[in-house]
Amino acid sequence: MLTLSGTPFGCAQRRATGLCARCEARPFSVCASLAADDLDRLDALAERLTLQPGETLFRDGDSAGHLFNVTSGSLRTYRLMADGRRHVTGFLFAGDFIGLTGEAVHRSCAEAMEPATVCRFRKTEWRALMDARRVLETALLARAARELTAAADHALLLARKTALERVASFLRDLPGSDRLRPETPGHVRLPMTRTEIADYLGVTLETVSRSLRRLKCQGVIRQLSLTEMVVEKPAALSAIADGEV
């Protein structure tokens, strides 16, 4: 079940001694824009949620009264078509913000892939905080800008890249997403299933599997386990990803 641990007794601390002050995800969250003095205010608004693998944060059709900030672990968001076709919208890690799209009703589902923690904010309260601390709105706009850039890259991938190029792009761009993990250079951790990768890249799981094999045969990557890859030839991987082959 989804456990909920709000600020103790619901009252803000005077000094920034709350959870936000110790939050490991803060440096790469929009919260980083706030001065230390303002953290107690953030604390007062944040509800801490803990999700177990497979647990749902929200579903398609739920009214979207909240915003979320991922503080640890990872989540997937996806959309379903009427006949069951699935598109995985994205994979979310610590520091990622959910709710930039500003829709009143969720049009996608969000579930934990691994044990995850998330901060939840009421939209109205968040809006008030943004009005009081404008740097927060500026930080959110900057984040929205980055997301739009990433969306354009992903659209190019979906519109024009071959299956092999898609998988190569994925292996190249995924590392660094989870900024809480000490990044071992060349190592790619895959907390998601092949099916999820496929639904993210717009192909089938068999095609993902075959593409990975081709990359392995070419010596571009080496497989340590189902969820762990090593990039042996980063330059070659990137060249394939960009279609320069």
Footprint of DNA (CB under 7 A): 162-164, 193-195, 202-210, 212-213, 223, 225-227
The burial class, CB within 10 Å (0-12 / 13-18 / 19+), for 137 is: middle
Report 169-188 residues binding a second copy (CB under 8 A). Answer: none
**129 vs 208, beta carbon nearer DNA:** 208
30 binds, among DNA, a second copy, none (CB under 5 to 8 A by kind): none
Least distance to a second copy, CB of residue 144, Å = 4
* Axis-axis angle for helices 134-160, 123-132 (nearest 10): 120
159 binds, among DNA, a second copy, none (CB under 5 to 8 A by kind): a second copy
**23 vs 88, beta carbon nearer DNA:** 88
Report 87-116 residues binding a second copy (CB under 8 A). Answer: 87, 89, 100-103, 107-108
- What single-letter DSSP state applies at residue 62? S
Q: Does 2 bind a second copy (CB under 8 A)?
A: no
Task: Give the closest residue to 60 by CA, choosing from 42, 80, 45.
Answer: 80
Least distance to DNA, CB of residue 56, Å = 16
Q: Does 152 bind a second copy (CB under 8 A)?
A: yes
The number of CA neighbours under 13 Å toward the Cβ of 200 is 21
Question: What does the alpha-carbon distance between residue 160 and residue 194 come to, in Å, rounded to a whole number?
Answer: 21
Q: Does 230 bind a second copy (CB under 8 A)?
A: no
**93 vs 200, beta carbon nearer a second copy:** 200
Candidate list 4, 128, 142, 230; residue touching a second copy; CB under 8 A: 142
**Residues sharing a CB contact under 8 Å with residue 179, sequence separation 6 or more, in sequence order:** 28, 93, 94, 95
**Strands 116-122 and 66-72, sheet pairing:** antiparallel
Q: Does 138 bind a second copy (CB under 8 A)?
A: yes
| Residue located via tokens 């082959």 | 245
The number of CA neighbours under 13 Å toward the Cβ of 87 is 11
Report 23-82 residues binding a second copy (CB under 8 A). Answer: 79, 81-82
Least distance to a second copy, CB of residue 103, Å = 6
Region of 2 please: left (phi>0), alpha (psi -120 to 50) or beta: beta
Tokens of 61: 């059709």
Could you list the residues that contact a second copy (CB under 8 A)?
Answer: 79, 81-83, 85-87, 89, 100-103, 107-108, 134, 137-138, 140-142, 144-149, 151-152, 154-156, 158-161, 199-202, 242-244
